[in-house]
Amino acid sequence: MVLLVLGGMLVWAFGAMLATATLQTNGEPVPAAKSPSDAAPSATPRPSLPVKGVSSLDFRLGDCFKDFDPSTPDAEVVACASPHSAQLVAVHQYAAADSYPGSTAMKAKGREACQAAPLNSKTTGYELKYRLAYPSPDSWRSGDRRVDCYITSTSGNIIKSSLLP
């Protein structure tokens, strides 16, 4: 069972590495979302930071990450006011009863979540990309139903504030 969960996390992390889209920041603020997904959880700040070794399955909406590498199963969560390279800006949670929709549908749902993320004007001045993470068939069978949208810096730990309002 442990190997199945670890294997699912690795496949999930690999999927995150493969799903990338460019965020346009031509000096203009990204428009705020009309309304977030009904299934998306609200941001829940962590009581004390930094926290090393946080599992990708335990990431929270609004978390900021130092030296973010989507191909690893865990990351260091830091205060968004400190230098970081990524932030989790949107989450879509499929219902437990849903059947596996396939990677194409999950990529589309992830892009939709990214586009709906209510970003603030602090996205200007950075070269940023959207990155998606979604369940593999194996991790879906283990109960993983999250599609995550991250915004990542293409230049390392240069972001020094939250990109969410």
Is pLDDT at 130 greater than 50 in this prediction? yes
Closest CA to 39 of 116, 105, 99, 103: 116
- Distance between CA atoms of 56 and 75, rounded to whole angstroms? 7
**pLDDT for 138-156, tens place per residue?**
999 999 999 999 999 999 9
**pLDDT for 24-68, tens place per residue?**
433 333 433 333 333 445 566 787 999 999 999 899 999 999 999
SS3 148: strand
**If you average pLDDT over residues 110-126, what whole number do you get?**
92
Task: Find out whether 12 and 144 touch, Cβ atoms under 8 Å.
Answer: yes
Provide the pLDDT for residue 44: 67
**pLDDT for 80-107, tens place per residue?**
999 999 999 999 999 999 999 999 999 9
